[in-house]
Amino acid sequence: MLTIKNLHATVADKPILNGVSLDVPAGEVHAIMGPNGSGKSTLAYVLAGRPGYAVSEGGATFDGRDLLAMEPHERAAAGLFLGFQYPVEIPGVSMLQFVREALNTQRRARGEAELSGAEFIKLAREQAKLLGMDAEMLKRPVNVGFSGGEKKRAEMVQMGIMQPKFAVLDETDSGLDIDALRIVGEGINRIMRAPDKGVLLITHYERLLEHVRPDRVHVLQAGKITRSGDIELARELESTGYAEVAA
């Protein structure tokens, strides 16, 4: 579903990714772990098409299409979703307004009928309830006044509404307490565990993976994958750190 081959990328002319190769088949969840500065967020941003991240070598395909040749909005319409490590605030724009416009824009791009206001409100309330979020919060400006955990829950609500084919989740567990961690983990499983979907989950810690149970775990160091395994690798990382495991 998502195939990355020998991907090299720079930020402000500084090499960050140094030959990342990875294959995430449909129906699987893969996790990437690694120390600070290893290139985890850079990989997420390159896949999403964030400006300022230049690919110097290699490539990536999504559902058989050249992902890097697509504009960011084309990647989104094709079904790629990016969950941010630090979700931004958008004053003056309500969460409902923002997500409805995003959803209907993507539906138009795919030749699908737009959702009416009533249909969208019903969908948004259902997703908020499933993630333990007060639906009234969706009327507030995007992420304004939200705690770190509320921002991450709001992103999961967005993902539930958008129903992407593939989610790249950058440290979704950041700022979550124990209960929120469980709810978000269950949300990822509910929304994205399907034969025709996939997830690339970036995290520092093994705790979220106990809820999500990834099919594969990869260690990213110095801009490339140094080791892969199952959830036992994540547990080993938690116990020994990166220097011992990647050796």
CA dist 136 → 92, 121, 140, 142 (Å): 16, 11, 8, 12
How many CB atoms are closer than 10 A to CB 46?
26
Listing DSSP states for 149-212 in one string gives HHHHHHHHHHHHHH--SEEEEESTTTT--HHHHHHHHHHHHHHH-STT-EEEEE-S-SHHHHHH
Type of residue found at 39: G
- Going by DSSP bridges, is the β-strand pair 198-202/166-170 parallel, antiparallel, or unpaired? parallel
pLDDT value of position 133:
87
**What token pair was written down for 190?**
């509910």
Burial status of residue 40 (CB atoms within 10 A of its CB: 0-12, 13-18, 19 or more)? buried
Q: What is the pLDDT along the chain (247 residues), one digit of tens a residue?
A: 999 999 999 999 999 999 999 999 999 999 999 988 889 999 999 999 999 999 999 999 999 999 999 999 999 999 999 998 888 899 999 999 999 999 999 999 999 999 999 999 999 999 999 888 888 889 999 999 888 888 888 899 999 999 999 999 998 887 778 888 888 898 899 999 999 999 999 988 888 899 999 999 999 999 999 999 999 999 998 888 877 665 4
Type of residue found at 216: R
- Sorted by where each starts, the structural domains of the chain and their CATH numbers stand as 2-245 (3.40.50.300)
Provide the strand spans (E) within the chain.
2-11, 14-24, 29-33, 53-62, 65-66, 80-83, 90-94, 141-142, 166-170, 198-202, 216-221, 224-229
C-alpha to C-alpha distance for 169 and 153, rounded to whole angstroms: 12
C-alpha to C-alpha distance for 235 and 126, rounded to whole angstroms: 34
C-alpha to C-alpha distance for 216 and 187, rounded to whole angstroms: 19
CA dist 93 → 88, 100, 243 (Å): 12, 11, 44
CA dist 137 → 133, 153, 191, 208, 228 (Å): 8, 11, 21, 25, 40
CA dist 47 → 7, 39, 166 (Å): 10, 12, 11
